[in-house]
């Protein structure tokens, strides 16, 4: 089978009904719109937000104050006291943190410096606070940045 031999099934494609093309066509004069009224006019009808005269949802909801930054980076946060549960010498990355339920899916990870770390760990994350980096390296561990 070749692309140039493909065609729709017989009867699947019908010609578009051309309305408003003379009275003998069966769809002349009013072109199927009925007579008079808002819906018979061109551009007639209500917009997509119209709710029958009830105050539309867009006007019922409050305007939130302040500025929302659409480019804000959102991280899954992990603190050093949460890493304390890993065995010494362990490699701690997104898979291990997800397995223990410390982070959710599909967010970059940032390690923060709350708590102390008394064992050497290799920690892989997308970002580190300066205090977390210092404490991990002071405990004999390594910090690896992920992209």
DSSP string, the chain: --GGG--PPTTS--PPP--SS-GGGSS-TTTTS-SSSGGGSTT-S--TT--TTSPPHHHHSPPPPS---TT----EEEEHHHHTTSPTT-EE-HHHHHHTTSS-SS--EEEE--S---S--EEEESEE-HHHHHHHHHTT-EEEE--
The predicted-structure confidence for 94-109, as pLDDT tens digits, reads as follows 999 999 999 998 999 9
- Quick one: pLDDT at residue 59? 95
**CA torsion sign, 97 to 102 to 103 to 104?**
positive
Q: Answer whether 116's CB lies under 8 Å from 135's CB.
A: yes
Indicate whether this model's pTM tops 0.75: no
Domains of the chain: 76-145 (3.100.10.10)
pLDDT at 1 over 90: no
CA atoms within 13 A on the CB side of 86: 23
What is the spatial distance between Cα 122 and Cα 91, in angstroms, rounded to a whole number?
5
Does 113 score more than 90 pLDDT?
Answer: yes
Express each pLDDT in 130-146 by its tens digit.
Answer: 999 999 999 999 999 99
Indicate if the pLDDT at residue 147 is higher than 90: no
Which residues are paired to 109 by β-bridges?
76
């Amino acid at each position: 089978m070749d692309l140039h031999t493909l065609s729709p099934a017989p009867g699947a494609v019908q010609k578009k009904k051309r309305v408003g093309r003379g009275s003998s066509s069966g769809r002349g004069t009013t072109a199927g719109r009925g007579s008079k009224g808002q819906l018979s006019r061109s551009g007639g009808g209500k917009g997509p937000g119209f709710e029958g005269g009830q105050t539309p949802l867009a006007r019922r909801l409050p305007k939130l104050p302040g500025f929302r930054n659409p480019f804000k980076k959102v991280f899954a946060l992990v603190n050093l006291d949460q890493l304390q549960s890993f065995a010494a010498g362990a490699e701690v990355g997104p898979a291990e943190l997800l397995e223990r339920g410390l982070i959710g899916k599909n967010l970059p990870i940032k390690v923060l410096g709350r708590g102390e770390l008394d064992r050497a760990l290799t920690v892989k994350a997308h970002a580190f606070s300066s205090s977390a980096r210092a404490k991990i390296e002071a405990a004999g561990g390594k910090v690896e940045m992920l992209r």
